[in-house]
Amino acid sequence: MTLTRRALAASALALPFIAEMAQAAPKKPIVIAHRGASGERPEHTELAYRLAVDQGADFIEPDLVVSKDGHLVVRHENEIGGTTDVESRPEFAARKVTKRIDGQEMTGWFAEDFTLAELKTLRARERLPQLRPASAKFDGQAQIMTFAEVAALARAESQRVGRVIGVYPEMKHPTFLASIGLPIEDRMADALRAADLDSPTAPVFVQCFEVAPLKTLRRRTNARLVQLVASEAGPADAPSTTYAQMITPDGLKAIAAYASGVGPEKTLVIPQNEETLLPATNFVRDAHAAGLVVHPWTVRAENYFLPKSLKKGLAMRPDYQRLQGDVTPVLKALYAAGVDGVFSDFPGLAAQARDA
């Protein structure tokens, strides 16, 4: 047998082994751009989403509320006074109201009191201008987007950069929206079908802090669903249930009956105190045992969000809290804990830490 034939034979024998290794190889955790690159551009804008893609994000996240005329619009909350210029618009001054949403009173301007055409006249602004003044320089440059526009943007960006960019929408305040005659679940299901995202292999996850809306959506779509959980309180639609109960091994198994994944507050995976990060919990192990992927939220880079050991700069500086600290150890600890993805306001840093 010649050397070439020996090499070919060896290659043929190795193929099954290589295939098995490829299947067994761990998948790279996904980077989810939390409201886009929201640490550097006003959140939920085309500016923030495009920058996130350029920085290496795999998914872009649009939080969804509903307009007066039934459109899925992209805002972190239905109260839009903090993220748009509506307060400076005299034609909308009379629409400032106080509402009770998920048990809390809020005063401001609310998306459900505006038609989509009216919302499109507004311009986005930075939600945390004192903490993110560089982002605030982009105030007034972007419109409010719809979910359909974000899905179209993800498709266009996929073609531009040559890799699949997914969308990771969150249904906000479903119980409240249903109470005012604007239920979000059917709208979400219809939007997924319209965007060709209604399958378990489509580049989409739909998330929610409430339980019943996800169970309802499970009956209406084949897309992957994610149950969000926090370190305190519980879902707004189940006052007798706490998130602490939902993240026990049995609670995670119950989530797996209707969802593909769980999105924990990051301190449920990597706790921290004022001084430093603490050892990883068993959260990822328990969730994986239940068959759930784990996508914790949200990694932010400013000193304000980090323990003392990771802050940078002189504490006496007036801008100390908004300086960028050393967030890489947070990201590496999450990846080392075995998470399947990470939400970050700074997707570029999340991608760098993962790829390193």
In this prediction, residue 26 has a pLDDT band, given cuts at 50, 70 and 90, of low
The one catalytic residue among 34, 44, 173, 295: 34
45 in any annotated domain: yes
Enter the tokens of residue 321: 């809290």
Q: What percent of the chain has pLDDT over 90?
A: 92
Angle 114-116-118 from CA coordinates, rounded to 5°: 60
Residue 240's CATH number: 3.20.20.190
Q: What percent of the chain has pLDDT over 70?
A: 93
pLDDT in tens, 316-351: 999 999 999 999 999 999 999 999 999 999 999 999
12 in any annotated domain: no
CA 323 – CA 304 distance, rounded (Å): 8
Read off the pTM. Answer: 0.92
CA distances from 102 to 63, 105, 342 (A): 16, 8, 26
Coil, strand or helix at 331? helix
| CA-atom Rg of the chain in angstroms | 22
DSSP 190-221: HHHHHTT--STTSSBEEEES-SHHHHHHHTT-
Angle 230-265-296 from CA coordinates, rounded to 5°: 135
CA 328 – CA 155 distance, rounded (Å): 30
| Cβ-based neighbour number of residue 114 at 10 Å | 23
pLDDT given for residue 27 in this prediction: 83
Q: Indicate if 34 belongs to the active site.
A: yes
328 in any annotated domain: yes
pLDDT given for residue 15 in this prediction: 31
16 in any annotated domain: no
137 in any annotated domain: no
59 in any annotated domain: yes
In this prediction, residue 73 has a pLDDT band, given cuts at 50, 70 and 90, of very high
Q: Does the structure show a pLDDT above 80 at 181?
A: yes
| Cβ-based neighbour number of residue 233 at 10 Å | 15
108 in any annotated domain: no
136 in any annotated domain: no
Is residue 217 within 8 A of residue 259, CB to CB? The reply is no
CA 261 – CA 200 distance, rounded (Å): 12
The one catalytic residue among 44, 71, 76, 295: 76
CA 100 – CA 317 distance, rounded (Å): 39
* Residue (of 163, 144, 113) closest to 47 by Cα position: 144
H/E element, 50: helix 46-54
Chain position carrying tokens 């994986």: 288
Strands (E), 147-241: 166-167, 170-171, 205-208, 224-229
CA 5 – CA 15 distance, rounded (Å): 15
Q: Indicate if 295 belongs to the active site.
A: no
Those residues whose C-beta lies under 8 Å from the C-beta of residue 156, and which sit 6 or more positions away, are none
Instruction: Say how many domains are in the chain.
Output: 1
| Residue 27 DSSP class | P
**Residue span of the structural domain in which 278 resides:** 27-78+148-355
Q: Does the structure show a pLDDT above 70 at 8?
A: no
Enter the tokens of residue 255: 């989530």
Mean pLDDT within 81-88: 98
In angstroms, how far is the first alpha carbon of the chain from the final one? 43
Amino acid letter for position 154 = A
Q: Does the structure show a pLDDT above 50 at 238?
A: yes
pLDDT in tens, 87-102: 999 999 999 999 999 9
Enter the tokens of residue 12: 């043929």
CA 71 – CA 14 distance, rounded (Å): 54
Chain position carrying tokens 């602490």: 244
| Cβ-based neighbour number of residue 304 at 10 Å | 15
